[in-house]
C-alpha cells in the first residue's frame, strides 16, 4: 500500500519524470566518458601522427566537446556537473595537445 502511495505521489508531483530525466542525463555523461576514454586511448602519441590524422582527431575531440557542452547545459545535480566538467577539461587538454602537434 505504501509503495503504491509513493508511486502515485511521484506521478502526481512529477518526481518520477524528474528521476527519469536525471537517469537519462547520467547515462549520457557515462556514455561520453566511456567514448572519450576509448577514443583518447586509441589516439596514443600525437607526435607520431600525420597532419591528416591530427585533423581527424581534432574534429572528433571537437565533436565530443560540443556534446559535453550540451549535456552541461541540461545538468542540474552537482555530481553530474562535476563529472561533465572534468571530462570537458580532459577533452580541452587533448584538443590543445593535438593543435600543438599540428603546428610542430
Q: What is the pLDDT of residues 7-55, one digit of tens each?
A: 766 676 677 787 888 788 888 888 888 988 888 888 888 888 899 999 9
The model's pTM is 0.74
At 46 the three-state DSSP class reads coil
Question: Do residues 60 and 39 lie in contact, with contact meaning Cβ atoms separated by under 8 Å?
Answer: yes
Percentage of the chain exceeding pLDDT 90: 32
- Over 70: is that where the pLDDT of 100 sits? yes
Residue 74 has φ and ψ, to the nearest 5°, of -105, -10
Amino acid at each position: 500500500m505504501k509503495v503504491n502511495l509513493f508511486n502515485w505521489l511521484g506521478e502526481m508531483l512529477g518526481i518520477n519524470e524528474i528521476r527519469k530525466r536525471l537517469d537519462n542525463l547520467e547515462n549520457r555523461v557515462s556514455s561520453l566518458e566511456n567514448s572519450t576514454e576509448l577514443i583518447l586511448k586509441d589516439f596514443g602519441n600525437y607526435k607520431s601522427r600525420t597532419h591528416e590524422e591530427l585533423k581527424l582527431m581534432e574534429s572528433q575531440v571537437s565533436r565530443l566537446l560540443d556534446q559535453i557542452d550540451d549535456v552541461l547545459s541540461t545538468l542540474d545535480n552537482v555530481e553530474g556537473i562535476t563529472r561533465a566538467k572534468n571530462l570537458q577539461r580532459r577533452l580541452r587538454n587533448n584538443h590543445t595537445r593535438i593543435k600543438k602537434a599540428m603546428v610542430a
